[in-house]
Structure 1
Amino acid sequence: MAWVYLVVGGVLEVVWVFFMKESRGFTKPTPTLLTLVTMAASFALLSVSMRTLPLGTAYAVWTGIGAVGAFVVGVLAFNESASLLRVTAVAMIVGGLVLMKVASHAPLE
């Protein structure tokens, strides 16, 4: 279940970042409130996942999901650049997340 909590928390990180952008520097009340609520939920799920997952794994995966998700949202919702270099960087982050997941199940050396 820890991985489910972690992934949902990572997705909520993308949601709160989106609403933070929409809040226009916390000047719009509804997006500001949605930012704070989804941020709290995201942090809570990260915290719950860290009951069983190692700190480094949980935090790296959580921030990675947030980074990749924010990139995708930026491209789709805000017309940000999807240049080859940026897409390559995101692919490298995804590769790192996969390796982190695999490493979490590797036997201790």
Structure 2
Amino acid sequence: MKLREIAHSRTGDKGNTSNISVIAYRPEDYELLKTAVTAEKVKAFFADIVTGDVVRYELPNICALNFVMYGALGGGVTRTLAHDMHGKGLSAAILDMDIE
């Protein structure tokens, strides 16, 4: 199944770092998120754009995972030549991830 079937996502940025939150629609799907969406899987999913580490933070009170991706924005808003300077499209992209 696609991640979008059980979660929605938001993104933010600071410099060359992208921050993606994946939030379960239903609390009962949070455990599946924790198991299926690891920092390693997110780094592999975005391997073409993320040059640094990916760190995952768990937010159980809101059934969410937060991923901080270093080196993800081509140098940051003032340096990148990317069309999506802030990386807002990354929230839509992550929802296309296949999970089991």
Answer 1 or 2: which has greater strand percent.
2
Answer 1 or 2: which has greater helix percent.
1
Report the TM-score when normalising by structure 1.
0.29
Answer 1 or 2: higher relative contact order, Cα 8 Å, separation at least 6.
2
Report the TM-score when normalising by structure 2.
0.30
Larger Rg: 1
